[in-house]
Structure 1
Amino acid sequence: MDFNKIIYTRPDYDTYKENITLYISELKNTRTFEEFDNLFNKINKLRDKVQTMKVYSEIRYSINTKDSFYEKENVYWDEKSPLYDSLDNIFYRAVLGSTYKINIIEKYGQQYYRLLNCRLKSFSDKIIYLLQKENILMSQYTRLLASAKILFDNKICNLSDLSIYMSSNDEKIRRSSIKAHTSFFEENEDKFDSIFDQLVKIRHEMAKRMGYENFIELAYYRMDRTDYNPKMVDQLRKNVRETYISQVNKIYKNQAKRIGVDKISYYDEKLDFLEGNAKLVGDGNYIIEQGKIMYSQMSNESKEFYDFLTNNNLFDVEARESKAMGGYCTFLNSYREPFIFGNFNGSVDDIDVLTHEAGHALQMYLSREIKVPELLFPTLDTCEIHSMSMEFFTYPWMKLFFGEDEEKYKTYHYESAIKFLPYGCLVDHFQHEIYKNPNMSPVQRKNKWRELEKIYMPNRDYQDLDLLDRGGYWFRQGHIYKDPFYYIDYVLAQLCALELYELMQVDYKKAWSIYIKMCKVGGEYSFIELVENSGLKNPFKEI
């Protein structure tokens, strides 16, 4: 389905509730597994319709946060999503309580059962009103970031627009753009603190009402973590500290030599080469067109997939005023198609949209025939293997986008992948500290960030950027506000992607074959199962 031809209709909750409740009642009284399975699939089709309208509305709202119609729809979904989740919970209980457990596991796998247990442990009608409040606050955060209107270079810029200036090889431009970017967060410091403070307290209250000591245990269930726990994650962070901080220190020393400074300050972090960073040789339309060449040459699967995206307008990557920040890939269940959202700004980040988000989209495309919504795509730790690995698989085609700067881009990208690992662990460690101590004040939270930052990123020198030196960098990390405890998934996936990259250099076809198989199985296996089934190292055991 062409995205522009999709017709949005707000679901009527009461009608949906009546229909799905009737189906669930019938499901409980089935006399054969065949009857059960038919009703199971009917219920999932109904759920798909609701999810599709929700996702479509979210995309439209992301495209223009000032669209009055989708602003209202966003309010509707903030309020109603937990009520739909409650109905899902009733369905999950009916499935788990069924006498056909052996048949269900035989057809849909053990991981499906594990996921349903996670869903039941992460939701209760007791917390619906808290989930509604959480949704409203997360939407406030999205609007606050999108509200940025910063006068720079004789034009009004949003936060994304400033990225290209922040990596300029002109020190004056680089410094002034970074100061302008930071000023937005300084001017809105109280708002960022207030939103987060409310989110922490709401999430802690959810956990207490669900019978947990704090939000951490609840968050792991919300993240569908079926085979690892906080103790294992703590060990992973320790492994990264011991293995990668020294490597990152060397990378920064080499970068300092390349750009002719004694030590890298925050103002220099985004400058990789003295004569200037890798530059794209074309605009957004050019990138999309060159992507067609790249994916057509990569494999039959990737050619078919990319043609499908472009032919059905399943991209929105142009930066515009009032557009939500960042990039993401999502899925429209009823149409079995992924959608990629981004903000092209002329920087190397544009290529990440074409590679990282397309990695997500390719996995969704290849597993689109899996009809069970919970198994269509895997848990987020595995999802990020697909996206981060695709960034490396596209290396042979980077000349299409960077011309003579091809090697510059590869150096930047590989070094960034290594630099990221301690930062990803920092975000995760920070969140564990925050939710263990939910009554921290805003000042204490910033102090804790800065304390951990000095452990994981000892090279970081903010100089005269007061808010950042006081520990306010995390304001810009949307996952901390909107997707708590997500970030360690990127670390896990990056370690796997780096292992695949090593294999690519020896046997590209073998690496690609492993990758495609991982994509096709969707979410049928847990993270550790999929990694070990694919012949990759378990990151919790060895780096």
Structure 2
Amino acid sequence: MKFSEMKYQRPDLETVKRDMLRLIDEFEAATTPEAALDAVQDLNRLRMDFQTMFELAYIRNSVDTRDEFYKTEKAFFDEASPEIEALETRLRKALIASPHRRSLEERLGRQWFRLAEVQTRSFGDEIVEDMQKVNARVTDYNHLVASARIPFGGDTYNLSQMVKFTESTDRETRENAVRAMYGFFAEHGDAFDEIYDDLVRMRTAMAQKLGYENFVQMGYDRMSRTDYGPKETQAFREAIRKHIVPLAAEIREKQRERLGLSSLRIYDVSLWYRDGNAHPQGDPAFILANGRRMYQELSPETDAFFQYMLDHELMDLLSREGKRVGGYCTFIPNHKAPFIFANFNGTLGDVTVLTHEAGHAFQAYQSRDMKLPEYFFPTAEAAEIDSMSMEFFTWKWMPLFFQEEADKFFYTHLAERVVSVAYMAAVDEFQHAVYEHPEMTPAERKAKWRELERTYMHRGDEFYEGLPYLQEGGLWQRQLHIYNYPFYYIDYALAQVCALQYFLWMQDDPTKAWESYLRLCSLGGSRSFLELVGEAGLRSPFDESTLADVVPRIQDALAQLEARLPS
């Protein structure tokens, strides 16, 4: 069934709740493992019915945030989802306490029960109303960002469409574009502060109601992290400061020299070459046609996957007025269908977002027959290995998209992946500071962000010269994860270290690297993060020796790629 043909019908919430309660009672009363398994399977079918309708409403609201029908349906799920989670929490408690747990673990895997344990800790009936309010404020943030109408050069653009102007070879154009983009955030700065104030206050209150000291550990539990915690991520950030930050600074210095500037400003960092960045040498139809060829040639599995996505209208890629910013991949359970959402804007990112989100979608496609909805995707940091690694596995085909600018692409792509890790660590440390000190004022939060920018990205006062909103520390307000998905960002850095290992493995033994990746995707979410890393034959990012060994090889690869750049 094509996406446009997928029928949406709002679930009858009371019926869903009644049926879930009945099936949970059946599970708790089961006298044999078989009876317990039957109840679980019926419950999961019911949960997937609800999730299917949620995803259809979510996607269609993302595609056009102005559509009143799906705006209303998204609001319905903002209210309904916490009530369903309350029942899912009761199911998880029953799973943990079940006398048939050992037998069920053998059939369904231990990971479901580990997830149940951390998810049960982070939810209670007493926070349902708080969660509904949080969901509403998150929606307020997304709608505010999507509402941007930025006059520029005689036309009007949304934030995604403005990105291409920040890569102009004309410095004045770049500066004006950045001023216009962040002018929108500055204009609405009080609203962004107010939304985040509410979110921090409400999330902290929820955590304390559940017995947490603050929201930090609750945030980790809600991210379903079963084999590491704040202590491990702190050590990982320290390793990033030691090994990645110096290389990122070196990359930026070479960029400054290449551009012939006395110093880099915020409006310079998106331009890598004086004569312009690498760009796809065609329109979106050109990108899709070459994407089809790329996945056809990469492997039989990717060939079948991408044709399925095309045949079933499972990608919405063009930026339009009213469309939510960003990109994501999600999964529609009853149709066993991944869905890719993106905002093409004529930049290099059009290709990388396609390969990135296709990595998520390919993994979900490979594990679409999993018996548990929790296994369609792995936890976030493991899921990002699938997406970030696909970006590297498709390098061989980048000349199709970039033609004579392919060498520019290769260097920029790898360099950006390195410098992004430092930014990811800054975002993570920022969130720890905020939720460890929820009493921070907006000004104090911004001051903390500026401190972290100096630490991880060496951004001094001159970097934002003439842009007071950014000089005061407002840049983080554009990072939707901070509002939407607290503590979901170090995941990208953890995954990037694994993806860089795949990049190096491909140089040594591409066949073995691809076989490992296929196995990783096929496991879906049936293992924890560190178990998946081990199953794939990768090294743990939490081991400092991993970065110590990977970074010098990446530095060498960058030097070789830089030597190939046009003079």
Q: Normalization by structure 1: what TM-score?
A: 0.99
Q: How does 1:374-413 map to 2 (within 5 A)?
A: 374-413=374-413
Cα distance in structure 2, aligned partners of 1:123 and 1:29: 24
Residue matched to 1:208: 208
| Alpha-carbon distance in 2 for matches of 1:151, 1:453 | 29
Residue 465 of structure 1: aligned partner? 467
Matches within 5 A, 1:170-181: 170-181=170-181
- How far off its partner does 1:352 sit? 2.0
Range that drifts further, 284-293 or 24-33:
24-33
Q: Could you say which residue in structure 2 is the equivalent of 1:520?
A: 522
- Code of the residue aligned with 1:491 in structure 2: it is A
- Give yes or no for contact 2:378–2:524 (8 Å, CA) kept in 1: yes
Shift, 1:507, TM fit: 1.3
Give the deviation of 1:154 after TM superposition. 1.4
Secondary structure in structure 2 of the residue aligned to 1:452: helix
Deviations, residues 192-211 of structure 1 (Å, cap 9, x unaligned): 10000100000000001001
Are the counterparts in 1 of residues 389 and 502 from structure 2 also a CA contact under 8 Å? yes
Q: Distance in 1 between matches of 2:450 and 2:509?
A: 42
**Partners in 2 of 1:89 and 1:332 — Cα distance?**
22
C-alpha separation in 1, matches of 2:249 and 2:264:
10
Distance 2:384 2:40 in 1: 29
Which one of 509, 514, 518 corresponds to residue 507 of structure 1? Answer: 509
How do residues 100-499 of structure 1 correspond to structure 2 at under 5 angstroms? Answer: 100-459=100-459, 461-499=463-501
The alignment of Structure 1 onto Structure 2 pairs a total of residues equal to 543
Distance in structure 2 (CA, Å) of the matches to 1:338 and 1:438 = 37
- Give CA deviations for 1:268-305 in whole Å, capped at 9, x if unaligned: 10110011110211111211111000000000000000
Supply the distance in 1 between the matched residues of 2:465 and 2:518 (Cα, whole angstroms).
Answer: 46
Provide Cα deviations, 1:236-293, integer angstroms capped at 9, x if missing partner.
Answer: 0000000011101111111112111132221210110011110211111211111000
Identity rate, percent: 42
- The 1-side partners of 2:264 and 2:508 are apart by 34
The residue number in structure 2 matching 1:33 is 33
Distance, in Å, in 2 between the alignment partners of 1:2 and 1:78 is: 26
In 2: Cα distance, 1:181 partner to 1:477 partner: 13
CA distance in 2, matches of 1:75, 1:112: 29
1:20 Cα offset (Å): 1.5
CA distance in 1, matches of 2:384, 2:200: 26
Residue pairs, 1:53-64, within 5 angstroms: 53-64=53-64
Distance 2:431 2:61 in 1: 28
Q: Which range moved further: 19-28 or 76-85?
A: 19-28
Conserved? CA contact 1:259–1:274, under 8 Å? yes
CA distance in 2: counterparts of 1:288 and 1:528, whole angstroms = 34
Q: What whole-Å deviation, never above 9, does each CA across 1:141-169 have from its counterpart, x for those lacking one?
A: 00000110011121110011100000111
Checking the alignment, whether the CA contact within 8 Å between 1:359 and 1:390 is kept in structure 2 is yes
| CA positional deviation for 1:39 | 1.7
CA contact (8 A) 2:464 2:470 kept: yes
Deviation at 1:459, TM superposition (A): 4.1
| Structure 2: gaps of 5 or more residues | 548-567
2:532 to 513, 516, 530: 530
1:90-133: CA deviation from partner (whole Å, max 9, x where unpaired) = 21122222111111111122211110001101110100111000
In 2, are the aligned partners of 1:96 and 1:116 still within 8 Å (CA)? yes
- Following TM superposition, by how much is the alpha carbon of 1:353 offset from its aligned partner in structure 2, in angstroms? 2.0
Residue type of the alignment partner of 2:508: V
Amino acid corresponding to residue 116 of structure 1 in structure 2: A
Deviations 1:282-337 (A, max 9, x none): 11121111100000000000000000000000001111111001000000011111
| Counterpart Cα distance in 2 of 1:255 and 1:206 | 45
Q: Distance in 1 between matches of 2:252 and 2:124?
A: 47
The equivalent residue for 2:71 is 71
- Corresponding residue of 1:97: 97
- Render the CA deviation track for 1:441-464: whole Å, top value 9, x for unaligned: 101100010011111111461121
- The CA deviation string for residues 346-393 of structure 1, in whole angstroms up to 9 with x for no partner, is 111111221000000000000011010112211001000000001111
CA RMSD of aligned residues (A): 0.9
Q: Which runs of 4+ in 1 moved over 3 A?
A: none
Q: For residues 415 and 456 of structure 2, what CA distance do their matches in structure 1 show?
A: 16
**8 A Cα contact 1:264 1:459, kept in partner:** no
3-state DSSP of counterpart to 1:161: helix
**Alpha-carbon shift at residue 30 of structure 1 (Å):** 1.8
* SS at structure 1 position matched to 2:224: coil
Tell me the distance in 2 between the aligned counterparts of 1:365 and 1:200: 36
* Amino acid paired to 2:529: F
In the aligned structure 2, how far is the partner of 1:247 from the partner of 1:68?
48
Alignment partner of 1:95: what SS?
helix
Tell me how far apart the structure 2 counterparts of residues 285 and 197 of structure 1 sit (CA, whole Å).
Answer: 43
